[in-house]
Amino acid sequence: MRKIAILASLPLIISACCRGPVYERLNLQAESEYLHPVRPASEGRNPCWNKFAKKFMYAPAFEVPSVPGADKYRFTVRSAEGSWSFLSDRPDADLSPIWNQIPPANVDLTVEALVGEAADTVYSRSFLRDFPFKGPYNGPVRSYKEAAIRAALHNHLMPQVQNWIGNTVPDMSLWTNTYPCKIIGSTIRNECLVALLLPDRKENALEVARSAAAFLIAQSRPKGEPLAFFPPTYYLDTQASGEEQNQGKTMTMEATFAGNAFLDLYDVTGEKEWLDRAVEIGRTYVRLQREDGSLPIKVDFVTGEPVNDAHALLHPLLRYFQRLEGYSFGEFSQARLKAERWMDETAMERFELTGQFEDVNVLGLEPYQNLTNCTAAPYASYILDKGTISESDISNAVDLIRFCEDQFVHWDYADTTADGFHKSNAPCVHEQYKFEVPVDDSSCNVANAWLDLYEVTGDLLALAKAKALIDNITIQQNAQDGMIPTIFNWRKPGNGGDYWMNCSYASITTLLRLASMTEDLNRLDD
């Protein structure tokens, strides 16, 4: 655990509390932390970000207009369970005075301005007051390492993966291969893991990986072009890749998936051609980077020209530059620092962690209309793992992690079977506002951010929350074939359904990470 000593001035969020068994203390700590709103606009750092939010775990505060002459504002929350009220001098007060009294339920909020004897409703809103963390949850059904190896082996044995032996193009019965950087890149990374974890399968796994890597290279832009060495985001006219808005375009951050795959292949084989290819991808990113450190979210695949005014959120590139620097390529440090500044001064200050998905258009969206854990949690992880960390850095990372829990984590659901089983398999994490479905990769995003926070601060609650999410991955895993479903509440049968290799790879590496933390996990025992 890499605990640091600059945390004395941070708020209750990472403090200890109470005596007694570990989870009793942690549940009380969580209950106390839920009274602190997530980055409210009243702090003056960012606009009110929760206009489109449908649920809250932390006491929320809203953008409520002030009324001239109002003496007080009355906040009332109603549900089928009852009614709770309090008075405040501010129209934008958070709901902490009553928050922990309200049981999980769909609720209605009204805010009334009190002017003399009159009470006028100035704001109303409905939302889910979500279930809080109350551990412990169900533990793992098999060891984390066994779960990881079985999942990696499942992927390795998939016919669509073994198709790479003797073939130069992907098997499109796995339709997600239409996103080659992400899916084929993750296939390569899985095969590199298999080569390390299962020596008897190393030769076959590396043959698959080299063949898939050769395909990415064959599809890449030539040297000397604006997007030199970038493989495409889209392949063939299937799913989102066939939409007119995506024809001949590419998502700028996607090449990091391919670059990381090439680095993994270099790490396993020592073959320098893969390192050289990864470095050239990094150099193309440096050429694309604007003076302010930003990059466009989407560009023409031939000309490199932006196709809209949207900016990419840069957490994948920050990680990629950081990794390249680890191979002694210091040339990427300045570009990384510029990207860091842009993220800190723009994305973090606005607290606008908009989704960056190939199949969800960013055009026409209002600010904060499609927030997601998939940008916020990985950026928090980067902040916590970047080396020198300031108090401001940790405060920002904590805000991002709390935001993810508030908006996307589900510790429980009211919707259960007659026997009391969760219909949607909590604890889990929903992906984004535009896809309110529990996804294994989302659980990994948030769990890893909590593990990073634990390693920096020693906060056992962060470790307990991460463990609960990762334990549920082992529960969702198919006990017969080792498959970890991408979607936790309506898994489609067969390997050609909604199965995303990048999500599976995230689960595998997250399971392996927790497998290495046995001593830390022992701290959660009563």
Task: State residue 5's pLDDT score.
Answer: 37
pLDDT for residue 33: 98
Place of tokens 């190896």: 149
Query: Does residue 368 fall inside a structural domain?
Result: yes
Asked if 8 and 111 sit in the same domain, the reply is: no
CA distances from 386 to 141, 146, 174, 295, 481 (A): 34, 30, 36, 20, 37
Is residue 141 situated within a structural domain? no
Whether residue 463 is found in the same domain as residue 397: yes
pLDDT, block means (10 residues), the chain with 526 residues: 42 41 96 97 93 97 95 96 97 97 97 92 97 96 98 98 97 94 98 98 98 98 98 82 78 97 98 98 98 95 92 96 98 98 93 74 79 95 93 96 98 75 78 89 98 98 98 95 82 56 98 97 90
Out of 98, 129, 160, pick the residue that ends a domain.
129
Domain final residue, candidates 80, 110, 129: 129
Does 239 fall in a domain? no
Enter the tokens of residue 45. Answer: 């750092």
Cis peptide, bond prior to residue 427, ω within 30 of zero = yes
Total domain count, the chain: 2
Where in the sequence is the domain holding 51, given as residue range(s)?
Answer: 37-129
Residue 365, in any domain of the structure: yes
User: What is the DSSP annotation of 241-268?
Assistant: GGSGGGTTEEEGGGHHHHHHHHHHHHHH
According to the model, what pLDDT value does residue 240 have? 65
**Are 485 and 441 contacting, i.e. CB atoms less than 8 angstroms apart?**
no
Q: Give the global pTM.
A: 0.93
Q: Are residues 407 and 503 in the same domain?
A: yes
- Residue given tokens 């994305």 in the structure block: 347
Which residues fall within 8 angstroms of residue 388, CB to CB, at 6 or more apart? none
Specify the pLDDT at position 15. 39
pLDDT given for residue 231 in this prediction: 98
Q: Is residue 161 part of a domain?
A: no
75 with 22, same domain: the answer is no
Question: Is 431 in the same domain as 507?
Answer: yes
**Boundary-marking domain end, from 93, 109, 129:** 129
Residues 31 and 61 in one domain: no
What is the model's pLDDT at position 4? 47
